[in-house]
Amino acid sequence: MSLLRVQDAHLAFGADAILDGVDFTIEAGERVCLVGRNGAGKSTFLKAIDNEVVLDSGQIQWVGDTKVTRLPQDPPKQSEQRVFDYVAEALAESGKALARYHELSASLTDSPSSATLDEMDKLQNQLDAINGWQVNTRIEQVLTQLQLPADETMAALSGGWLRRVALARALVVDPDILLLDEPTNHLDIEMVRWLEEQIVNFSGAVLFISHDRAFIRRLATRIIDLDRGHLTSYPGSYDTYLQKKQEALEVEASHNAEFDKKLAAEETWIRQGVKARRTRNEGRVRALQDLRKQRQQRRELQGKANLSVNESSRSGKKVFEGENMALRFGEKPIINDLDLLLMRGDKVAFVGPNGCGKSTLIKVILGMQDVDSGKVQLGTNLEVAYFDQHRSQLDPEQTVMDNVGDGKQDIEFQGRSRHILSYLQDFLFSPKQSRTPVRALSGGERNRALLAKILLKPSNILVLDEPTNDLDIETLELLEQIVANYQGTVLLVSHDREFVDNTATSVLYFEGEGVITEVIGGFTELNHYLAAKAENSFHNNGTKAAARESDSNKSSQNKQKTADKGSDKPRKKLSYKLQRELEQLPKVIAEKEAKLEELQQLMNEPGFFEQPLEKTEPVMSQIAEIEGQLMQDLERWEELENLSEQSS
């Protein structure tokens, strides 16, 4: 059943058409992802559905008493309002009454009075009449699930926690349609996984904007693409959308090329003299006028971003070394006995819950924060370019070109002079947009402007603090290429699983209580580490014991190989039994690798670790068992191959 229908929606800001005859419906149970380039109007479309933006023309029709709630792109402002009160505001009369009741209840301790008690008595009667206590329970449940402190003020919360509060406000309404604008922004990985499970189990319809490809692949049942004012629906998975979208763009480009060829021929004809044309064909002249009109109205394909980095001279080989580092903020341990060595070219992802100390450790690495104890040695010739997730380096009142070029018309980039407008076109800013104040840009466009600013700065260390927030997927993939090809060192804070997998050479995982573990690889390898940790009943010495056992096995095998090499006895051919074993091992290994891959895919599902331990432990035990068997099989295969070569 359709819950919402948008018909022939038109909306323009000046000469720019945001919605150009858009039609859209959403059914109960659908999870629709809205994609498109930064500035295409995705957030505006959600605001129009939520009646925050009025269409120029067209209709938005709701079925019955359909309830809708929207999670905005930006987190709420810091204020002295309590978390409970902010969330309760979404519930109109009952929420307002509950907020006031809790406020009065808290004030009784400091200033009890008969007037306060009388007002509380009236509010209690009001809440009884409108089932307000059920609403109170609902609010408390959502706050508990999101681990939010009900009595904390909004001013005391960081961006990630404010994002959680906004999410709680959206979920507490229990709507029929949930509108989510970049819901994973500022959320740590555990919260992203929790949110995925909430959306999967949500009985209503969900329309969401996201750049997180893993999130989209997990959730979307349909993709809708907003491109130059037109909305196209692609049923099926995200990967199906990518294929169909590319095919559609190729067809469009082919049609445009044929059209331009025909128009050029007609323009050549009309410019010929009367004798060359022989007779003036009035029908052909009118047809040419129609062609010109069509060409003027054609939606132009946008170019691709052309991101590159202004690398400086190389830093020293050793970028940072710390031994036995410890740091506390009050009673809270941030770093606990950490040894860390960073070399030039390392690309390190910092992963952990919001507020765990990721930014603090980066400051230690850059020499901006002292540790309480331990040895710290900074590298030499370090030039840092810092991408701040809060975009504090951008002045919202200044234009894009003044922000990026610091007011200069000509800039130095990669050893040559360029005009600032030319440079900004690489980041898809037209001359008109480049002269626009930053405050008028979308969130993704602001992030592109900040990227343009920091990539212009000569650097050999890139610090990227949540760089993927609000970026469209195309720009995100280009940023991946920049990070992968960057010759310097990259310090990356991100909860975008695919981005980290595609860029990081190692992960620093913040486990809590100041414990920080280095895992070689990306999120996939981090999941393997967590699985192994769970398999060993979450005891840290489990992994160390496995490593010692592996070292012991290798030592025994090396001794055996040395003994074999030192033997002067004539070597015999492999026995039939050993030859048969050698022939069968590749098949056995392939089967075990296939089974291991199947189990790892199951474990990598976002909701896997939300399940009870009795469901996850058997899977992780099987993974650990197969990994151990595979190691033995591979070593046995190598041993038999060596024997076979020696006997031949």
Which residues line the annotated binding site for ATP? 36-43, 352-359
Answer left, alpha or beta for residue 415, where phi above 0 means left and psi between -120 and 50 means alpha.
left
User: Following CA atoms 115, 119, 122, 127 in sequence, which dihedral angle do they give, to the nearest 10 degrees?
Assistant: -160
Binding residues: 36-43, 352-359
Rounded (10°) angle between helices 238-271 and 282-297: 140
499 CB neighbour count, 10 Å cutoff: 27
542 CB neighbour count, 10 Å cutoff: 16
Residue 575 is classified by DSSP as: P
Instruction: Enumerate helices (H) and strands (E) in the chain, giving the number of each.
Output: 22, 20
Comparing CA positions, the residue from 447, 464, 271, 444 lying closest to residue 350 is 464
Displacement of CA 191 from its chain's centroid (Å): 12
Amino acid at 145: Q
Answer left, alpha or beta for residue 84, where phi above 0 means left and psi between -120 and 50 means alpha.
alpha
DSSP letter for each residue of 340-388? EEEETT-EEEEE-STTSSHHHHHHHHTTSS--SEEEEEE-SS--EEEE-
Q: In degrees, to the nearest 5, what angle opens at C-alpha 603 toward C-alphas 339 and 28?
A: 125
370 CB neighbour count, 10 Å cutoff: 9
Helix intervals (H) in 64-157: 83-88, 92-107, 114-129, 132-145
Q: Which residues pair with 114 in a beta bridge?
A: none
Amino acid at 280: R
